[in-house]
Amino acid sequence: MASPNLHTNGVGGTSGSTLATVSPLYTSGEIWYLHSPSGSDAASPRGKERIRPLATLAQALTNAGNNDIIVAMSGHTETLAAITTIAETGLSIIGEGTGSSRPQFIRNVNDELFDITGAGVMLDNLYFPASTTATALGKVRCATAGCIFRNLYFEASTSDDGPQLEFITGAGQALVEGCTFISTAASPADQPATGIQITNAMSDLWMDQVILDGGSSGWANPYALVGTGAVTRLRCTNLDLLRDSDVTLATGTVGYVHVRTKSGSARVVWAA
Amino acid sequence: MASPNIFPNGLGGATPGGLSSLAELYCSGTVRYVHSSGSDSYAGTERVRPLATIQQANTLSAANDIIVLLAGHTQSITTQVNFTQTGLTIIGEGLGAQRPTFTRDIPSGPSSNTDAGIMLSGAGQYIENVAFAPSLQTTSTPTQAGCIGVRETGTQIVNCYFVLGSSRDCAGIDFGAFSGGFADRGRIRDCGVVSVAADSASAPLAAVLLGQASDLFGLVISGLVANGGAAAWRNANSNTGGIRGVSAVQRLRATDLSLLGDTDLTLVTGSTGYIHVRDRSGSARVVWAA
């Protein structure tokens, strides 16, 4: 490995992900900038300078290697018409900006939006609006260990017939922190499926300050967090179950669920 | 498994945030309380009849149980407490001086296998809001393990505070201690390690040791404050004090790191990931071998 890179001013941002704040940053990998309004796609070294960002996530992933950081800058918006596989181990995709200026990734395909297969991938401060093409597949699917999902905002509506965040075989030691999953369906007929789904058995799922919000129309499943596979060592603290967002856990799940706030008929169903 | 236990009022504590707050708690394991005013003849499952020692709580615990250290609990540890049950949770209640506090008084060793204060040896264990005072032992040889040692996968150390001030002190946290190399995908969050040694001769060895046994993978560190105080860390001039990677740390994610009072961070060749430094003072530096 070459000597680590020292970014004396960090990634140069001022809001959003912790990594985006102005502080010295040492990295073993490269940093790639992404901004759809001003960027342009080209092979490396395009995208290494903040003032010459790339335009698409696909190009950023092409340029990036293991342990690199992709900085999606404030105002980045991208509609993806094909599945995006994230296979680089230790890759970080972080967003700058707050609220509606957070980087947005909109699904317009009958497939997963993000399929994470690289161990230790992190997504931080990204915004996933409701899908625009109907699909029963997960929006973000995790099939590997040690991934981090932090400060993500998921909106789900009539086209989201699958989970927003799904853990399948291979997932483990995952952290979900500060994420919000909300149904934006306008009517019960438009209910999305669910927020989080543990499809297959996994070990060590850590959740903290996660908000599951059924909105005005709720979830179709009807659970907002669905465990069809058992979780060995679930640690869930400061969970907000709002507006009829229920939780169901599969038989064999061990650990704890700590509910900070709840509204509507929110409930926890934990199979013996 | 039996149906999970439901605690409508949580664990009954009042410490803000997390498991100790008054909120509904569903858990598959048994909850046991510990306070130095209690008795080890109790079952420890009632808040008003706590156990007296963490050793007894350890003896009684099964996988995925919760041990609650009540506010004001204090205890001297003369023999390493080795927690082997997977998924065990140890949480302290109380803030500031009321935070449960342990003091190491382990004369034997040095042996990394036996002289930590608390050794976390089961996969997926979690410890939160516990403090350590300086070791009572003052021999010139540091122990070979930290106040808290980790040697299994998926371990988390959260909001713990370590005051080191004796030449016998090895480190606050020893992640990957004599493990056979399985302390992967762990997490250190919002912890503080401070040296209060009066001079370099009595300075503790280091604040945090990473990978004493072998390479670590996927370690996440956030909000760690390491403060060398007036005398910093032993061997500070040779980059072996402060936060030290003994073996390579791969996929390290360190954010909001405070390197204060000449605290250095050293990583060996093969380490990958990133280090984000929030604050630094003195001659604090990052030494990352190519």
For B219-247, write each residue's pLDDT tens digit.
999 999 999 988 888 765 555 678 999 89
Q: What is the model's pLDDT at position A260?
A: 92
A232/B274 Cβ within 8 A = no
Task: Check A173 against B3: CB less than 8 A apart.
Answer: no
Residues 190-209 of B with CB under 8 A from A: none
Q: How far is B107 from chain A (nearest CA, A)?
A: 35
Sign of CA dihedral B242, B270, A170, B61: negative
Can you tell me the mean pLDDT for B168-173? Answer: 85
A258/B10 Cβ within 8 A: yes
Section A100-123 average pLDDT: 97
Q: How confident is the model at residue A2 (pLDDT cuts 50, 70, 90)?
A: low
Using an 8 Å CB-CB cutoff, list chain A residues near B154: 172-173, 203-204, 233
Q: What's the pLDDT at B145?
A: 75
pLDDT in the model for residue B200:
79
Query: What's the whole-number average pLDDT of chain B?
Result: 89
B26, B251, B271 ranked by CB distance to A89: nearest: B251
User: Which band of pLDDT confidence, cut at 50, 70 and 90, is reported for residue B17?
Assistant: low
Q: Which residue has the higher pLDDT, A152 or A221?
A: A152
Return the residue of A nearest to B186 by Cα.
Answer: A173
Band of the pLDDT at B137, cuts 50, 70, 90?
confident
Residue A145 · residue A171 · CB < 8 Å: yes
Question: Could you report the predicted ipTM of this complex, rounded to two decimals?
Answer: 0.93
pLDDT for the residue numbered B276: 94
> Residue B107, class by beta-carbon neighbours within 10 Å (0-12 exposed, 13-18 middle, 19+ buried)?
middle
* Contact list, B218 vs chain A (CB under 8 Å): 90, 119-120, 145-146, 173
Model pLDDT, residue A202 = 98
Of A148, A159, A157, nearest to A126 by C-alpha is A148
CB-nearest partner of B272 from A90, A206, A268: A90
pLDDT band at B111 (very low <50, low <70, confident <90, very high): low
Which whole number is the average pLDDT over A77-96? Answer: 97
- Tell if the CB–CB gap between A27 and B274 is shorter than 8 Å: yes
pLDDT at B140 over 60: yes
Q: What is the DSSP string of chain A?
A: -PPPEEETTTTS--SBSGGGSSS-EEESS-EEEE-TTT----STTTTSSTTS-BS-HHHHHHH--TT-EEEE-TT-EEEESS-EEE--TT-EEEEBS-GGGS-EEEE-SSS-SEEE-STT-EEES-EEPPPSS-BSS-SEEE-SBS-EEES-EEEE-TTB-SEEEEE-TT-EEEEEES-EEEE--SSGGG---EEEEE-S-EEEEEEES-EEE-TTT--SSSEEEEESS-EEEEEEEEEEEESS-EEEE-TT-EEEEEEEEE-TT--EEE--
Residues 38-97 of B with CB under 8 A from A: 63-64, 66, 86-87, 89
Q: Report pLDDT digits (tens) over A199-244.
A: 999 999 999 999 999 999 999 988 999 999 999 999 999 999 999 9
The 10s digit of each residue's pLDDT in B268-282 is: 999 999 999 999 998
A81 CA to chain B: closest CA distance, Å? Answer: 30
In chain A, which residue's Cα lies nearest the Cα of B275? A26
Contact with chain A for residue B23, Cβ under 8 A: yes
Query: Using the beta-carbon criterion (under 8 Å), do A18 and B276 form an inter-chain contact?
Result: yes
| Cβ burial, residue B140 (10 Å; 0-12/13-18/19+) | exposed
Residue among B87, B250, B251 minimizing CB distance to A233 = B87
Q: What is the pLDDT of residues A158-183, one digit of tens each?
A: 999 999 999 999 999 999 999 999 99
Q: Give the pLDDT score at B238.
A: 56
Size of interface A-B (CB pairs under 8 A): 163
Tell if the CB–CB gap between B273 and A23 is shorter than 8 Å: no
Q: What is the mean pLDDT of residues A98-120?
A: 96
pLDDT value, residue B105: 87
CB-nearest to B277 from A24, A204, A206 is A24
Contact at 8 Å (CB) between A154 and A178? no
Contact A2 B4 (CB under 8 A): no
Q: Tell me the pLDDT of chain A averaged across its residues.
A: 95
With bands split at pLDDT 50, 70 and 90, how would you rate the model's confidence at B135? confident
Task: Specify whether the CB–CB gap between A115 and A89 falls below 8 A.
Answer: no
Q: What is the pLDDT of residues B173-207, one digit of tens each?
A: 999 876 555 789 999 999 999 999 888 777 888 89
Nearest CB neighbour to B255, from listed A19, A261, A272: A19
Q: Which residue from B minimizes the CA distance to A2? A: B290
Q: Which pLDDT score is estimated for B170?
A: 83
Q: What is the reported pLDDT for A15?
A: 85
Sign of CA dihedral B234, B236, B241, B247: negative
Min Cα separation A118/chain B (Å): 12
Residue of A nearest to B156 (CA): A206
Minimal CA separation from B198 to chain A, in Å? 30
pLDDT at B18: 74
Buried b (16+ CB within 10 A) or exposed e, B227-243: bbbebbbbebeeebbbb
Neighbours of B180 (CB within 10 A): 10
Q: What is the pLDDT of residues B47-99, one digit of tens each?
A: 999 999 999 999 999 999 999 999 999 999 999 999 999 999 999 999 999 99
Q: Which of B5, B27, B256, B264 best probes binding to A when mutated, by most A CB atoms within 10 angstroms?
A: B27
What residues have CB less than 8 Å from B48, skipping those under 6 apart? none
Instruction: Report CA B101 to chain centroid distance, whole Å.
Output: 12
- B255 in contact with A, Cβ within 8 Å: yes
- pLDDT at residue number B168: 73
Which whole number is the average pLDDT over A178-195? 97
